[in-house]
Amino acid sequence: MGGCSVLGRFWGVWRRRPGVRAVPTAPGFGTEAGHRLRPRGSSKRSRPLGGQPFPGLLQLENLSREELVDVLRAAVVDQKGKPGELTLFSVLPELSQSLGLGDQELQVVQASGKETSGLVLLSSCPQTASRLQKFFIYSRRAQKPTATYCAVTDGIPATSEGKIQAALKLEHIDGVDLVIPVKSPSRKDFQEGVKRTLSHFHVVAMGSGCALVQLQPLTVFPSQLQVHMVLQLCPVLGDHTYSARVGTVLGQRFLLPAESTKPQRQVPDEALLRRLYLTPSQAAQLPLHLHLHCLHLPGMRPGEAPMKLLAPLPSYFSRTLQCLGLHQQ
């Protein structure tokens, strides 16, 4: 299997070895079997941010096309074998030329959501891309997870691990595409676009009313993991789209009607703001703490052992873990 690249969507330290390629995009891509999840950078106590942006958050609006290509090329760790909008897709031709691939076109094989950090898998070989797509489809049908995400949640799940199942649909509300849960869907609902979704979750650490959670989606649907955590009454930190669906009365959380709850900036309580050293205005810019940490892939050639690709955490994510005292056990 050749012509494959992996992109990591954050700033980080990249290790090189023969194999696949990795690069970052906003807001934030490494490979090494057995690499453990741990905060990067200084072990000193985190300090207030002041007027500085969140560390490690790539600001696309401050980059030119050439600078973005340089960022992506510099983040390559491994290699084997809308018009005018500045996005990863828009600069793939320049990135292909910059990596010396000639006329070979890069295509996205696997990627997380727009605001999610972590791995992005690219390929310059149509046969490799096709094989990987078939692998992901087969794994989903066999309910074998291929992706592991890390999330910091505002709230702690009621159980330490389990499954989240929900029927979801995509609905255009007030000019915005939003994911809506559907209770007791009918056959007609499924014919009209409602999908059954499933995710595994495991609480790695908890503290300060928050949790570090590993999430493994077994289905593919827009914003699936964010909505699943909202259904657990534990929205992902920095989720400024769906967290408003969780209401609180006398310290008890409950779900508000999704259809009538408009997206709004997440507002952590005062105690959490103090632990994070954030002002309310800074909290309004808090990045989504959802990170595609690990991808499982088949061997590069028939008979070879499967691969595990790992992306270290963005520095803003690591800082949050340090502030909240959340560490992998």
Per-residue pLDDT of the chain (329 residues; tens, 9 = 90+): 455 555 544 322 222 222 334 333 334 323 333 333 333 334 445 555 555 547 666 666 667 767 666 666 665 544 444 555 667 777 788 888 787 887 788 888 888 777 899 998 888 888 888 999 999 999 999 999 999 999 999 999 999 999 999 999 999 988 899 999 999 999 999 999 999 999 999 999 999 999 999 999 999 999 999 999 999 999 999 999 999 999 999 889 999 999 999 999 998 999 999 999 999 999 999 999 999 999 999 987 778 899 999 999 999 999 999 999 998 65
The residue ranges of every structural domain in the chain are: 4-145+298-311, 149-283
Task: Kindly report the pTM of this predicted structure.
Answer: 0.79
Asked, as a colleague might, if the bond just before 55 is cis with ω within 30 of 0, I would say: no
CA 25/CA 77 separation, integer angstroms: 14
CA 92/CA 308 separation, integer angstroms: 24
Dihedral angle at the C-alpha atoms of 35, 328, 27, 147, nearest 10 degrees?
60
181 beta partners: 168
The two counts, helices (H) then strands (E), for the chain are 8, 12
> Which of helix, strand or coil describes residue 58?
coil
Confidence at residue 117, expressed as pLDDT on a 0 to 100 scale: 92
